[in-house]
Amino acid sequence: MTSLKTRVQAINPAIWIFTPTLENYRSVFQKRDLLLYIKNSAIVVVTTTAISIFLGTLAAYGFARFHFSRKEDVAFWILSLRMLPPMAVVIPFFLLGRFLGLLDTHILLAIVYLSFNIPFTIWMMRGFIEEIPQEIEEAALIDGCSRLRVLTKIVFPLTLPGIAATAIFCVIQSWNEFALAFFLTSFNARTVPTTVTFFLSVMGIIWGEMAAVGVVASIPVLAFAFVVQKYLVRGLTFGAIKS
């Protein structure tokens, strides 16, 4: 509702009946160039999610099916990387990006997000893979399938609900991330969440435009969730006890 109000109406939450206006949406697309930031977010999110799912699933399969020394300790160390608060690592990433000349680029932001999304993907997918009876893979190996064929023909199709559930969480985490994107980008790779600073000024907060950005920013995630909802529901209940 706030995004459809004028600036005067937006500062008064008691106004419920008003004539809707699209001026806030026109302003954020024409004056704020919101489409550029949506494009930046989309590039980083798609790249990060795809690589995280691919590498994370392979690593999760290794943890789920193979035994090696101190496996659980290594798995917990990987999970601990996800526990790091963004503000604790932003300075090292900033210095690394400046040294490599990658500040304000999609590449640096994707690498940073991968460091958080891959550990999350490994732990999510490990649980899904462990739910698959190992005897199915053993039978395929006996019939002459290679390990790669087992992965592509058996493991990936059976864990598709889990992959969808994990992907939507990766998309949400990457799309909504603010702190790292704010400090590591300035314009060329700036993402949608960082545009919140555009609406803070000495004259006050521009609530209407801020609300319009919030509405627009939620649409891609909702659309993706709608597309994969069939797999998402199955993935979130995968492994549940059935009566």
Average confidence (pLDDT) over 162-184: 91
Percent residues over pLDDT 70 in the chain: 95
pLDDT at 238: 53
Query: Average pLDDT of the chain?
Result: 87
pTM for the predicted model, two decimal places: 0.85
pLDDT at 26: 93
Is the pLDDT at 242 greater than 80? The verdict is no
User: Is there a contact between 213 and 176 (Cβ–Cβ < 8 Å)?
Assistant: no
Q: Tokens for 109, please give them.
A: 């932001």
How far apart are the C-alpha atoms of 121 and 41, rounded to whole Å? 20
pLDDT at 133: 87
In a domain, 218, yes or no: yes
Map residue 101 onto helix, strand or coil: coil
pLDDT at 232: 65
pLDDT at 240: 45
CATH of the domain at 155: 1.10.3720.10
Each residue's pLDDT tens digit, 108-161:
999 999 999 999 999 989 988 988 888 888 898 888 888 888 888 888 888 888
How far apart are the C-alpha atoms of 189 and 47, rounded to whole Å? 13
Is the pLDDT at 55 greater than 80? The verdict is yes
Is the pLDDT at 70 greater than 60? The verdict is yes
DSSP-assigned letter for residue 15: -
Rg of the Cα atoms in the chain: 22
Is the pLDDT at 202 greater than 80? The verdict is no
pLDDT at 243: 38
Average confidence (pLDDT) over 51-75: 91
In a domain, 243, yes or no: no
In a domain, 109, yes or no: yes
Residue ranges of alpha helices (H) inside the chain are 7-10, 23-30, 34-65, 71-83, 86-100, 106-130, 134-142, 147-150, 156-158, 160-176, 179-184, 207-227, 229-236
In a domain, 16, yes or no: no
Is the pLDDT at 234 greater than 70? The verdict is no
Domain hosting residue 42, numbered range = 2-11+21-236
In a domain, 180, yes or no: yes
Is the pLDDT at 101 greater than 80? The verdict is yes
Q: How many domains does the chain have?
A: 1
Is the pLDDT at 31 greater than 90? The verdict is no
In a domain, 219, yes or no: yes
How far apart are the C-alpha atoms of 132 and 212, rounded to whole Å? 44
How far apart are the C-alpha atoms of 119 and 166, rounded to whole Å? 11
How far apart are the C-alpha atoms of 152 and 54, rounded to whole Å? 12
Average confidence (pLDDT) over 65-79: 89
In a domain, 224, yes or no: yes
In a domain, 112, yes or no: yes
How far the first Cα of the chain sits from its last, in Å, is: 45
Map residue 192 onto helix, strand or coil: helix
